Chains A and B, each alone.
Chain A
């Protein structure tokens, strides 16, 4: 997958653009979307606690790789949303989904030797769709593109809005 910074910047751009249309998406909700972009990469916990260690400890099969599948990501997003106040939960869930889905979709574009991406739709199906192979996980240009999109979205939506004459916008609108 691209580095996490690429995912976070791309999600920032998406959420900021959406905030131009949906006025309630303030900085706090953009941050929630960015946090959602981190969720599919929680499988990197395997670097600290490898799957075989958990398997051996609990004497059961186990694989952190499931954290990168669509079904498990959905469950995690709902679990995270329950941590928020009820009045915020729907908006939080929506923005978390924006981040997580953008992460999974950009991962599905990565070049792989067999031309297939990940099990995006598991547990519904194990099918791994073909990937167009636009970049490798360590290419820099996706990061540069995401940074440019983030900068442009910030300028067009946030900066110009803050510097134009408008009635005071309530923070908690």
Chain B
């Protein structure tokens, strides 16, 4: 039985624990408009009254164009529809809007600026990202060989296809 390299394994685990700790820390952070991090979807959906009159940055799919309305969804799945005012652009249902503006009465946002993306573009982006992952995975297997038992990744002496040809 091959003994696992304990110091390296411990270092790897310690680093992952550090990453996890940072993600917990990041989860405690609230909005910080002064640092360029205004209230977002999660903040506004769960505590809209706390941000009345403040500048917020929300995004979501367009659910109505007259009046222009976007559905802002928090990570919990809770959602609120917001009316987007003062935005003069050609927008269709299903498009995605990111809006930076002032939260007014009810669920109205007075737009300062917005970024508009066509709805179908997200599907294309996801497919391209999936392709990228596959390309890197295939190239990774070509040049590198993981050993689960020894918990190590080794460089192949030659690309996988040449190793197969030799065999």
Count A-B contacts at CB 8 Å: 168
A78 to B28: give the CA distance in the assembly, Å.
24
Docked-complex contact B128 and A5, CB < 8 angstroms: yes
> A162 on the interface (CB 8 Å rule)?
no
Contacts of A172 in B (CB 8 A): 155, 157
CA distance A123 to B29 in the complex (A): 11
Within 8 A of A (CB), among B1-25: 8, 11-12, 15-16, 18-19, 22-25
Residue of B nearest to A91 (CB): B155
In the assembled complex, which residues on chain A have CB atoms less than 8 Å from the CB atom of B25?
66, 123
A111 close to chain B: CB less than 8 A: yes
B105 to chain A, nearest CB (A): 21
Q: Give the residues in chain B near A171, CB-CB below 8 Å.
A: 157-158
Shortest distance in angstroms between A63's beta carbon and chain B's nearest beta carbon?
Answer: 4
Are B27 and A63 in touch, CB under 8 angstroms? Answer: yes
From known contacts A3-B132, A112-B98, A116-B36, infer whether A138 and B118 are also in contact, taking CB-CB under 8 Å: yes
Interface size class of A (residues with CB under 8 A): 35 or more
Give chain A residues whose Cβ lies under 8 Å from the Cβ of B89.
none
Q: Mark B27-65, 1 if CB is under 8 A from A, else 0.
A: 111001001111000000000000000010100000000
From known contacts A75-B19, A172-B155, infer whether A31 and B128 are also in contact, taking CB-CB under 8 Å.
no
Which residues of chain A are within 8 angstroms of B122 by Cβ–Cβ distance? 138
A83 within 8 A of B: yes
Contact check: which of B12, B77, B99, B158 meets A82 at CB < 8 Å?
B12
Contacts of A69 in B (CB 8 A): 22, 26
Instruction: Say whether, besides A5-B131, A27-B159, A128 and B27 are in contact (CB < 8 Å).
Output: no
* A141 sits at the interface (CB 8 A): no
**Residues on A with beta carbons closer than 8 Å to the beta carbon of B129:** 3-5, 41, 44
User: What's the Cα separation between A44 and B155 when bound, in Å?
Assistant: 28
Contact A35 B15 (CB under 8 A): no
Q: How far is the CB of A137 from chain B (nearest CB, A)?
A: 7
What residue of chain A has the Cβ atom nearest to residue B139's Cβ? A31
Q: List 23 A-B contacts (CB under 8 A).
A: A3-B125, A5-B129, A5-B132, A27-B143, A28-B155, A28-B156, A31-B139, A38-B133, A50-B76, A61-B27, A63-B23, A72-B19, A112-B98, A113-B98, A113-B100, A122-B26, A126-B32, A127-B36, A128-B35, A136-B117, A137-B125, A138-B117, A138-B125
Known contacts A34-B135, A35-B136, A113-B100, then 19 further A-B pairs from the complex at CB < 8 Å, ordered by chain A residue: A3-B129, A28-B142, A28-B144, A28-B156, A46-B75, A64-B23, A75-B15, A75-B18, A83-B12, A85-B153, A113-B99, A114-B55, A116-B37, A119-B37, A123-B25, A125-B35, A126-B35, A128-B36, A137-B125
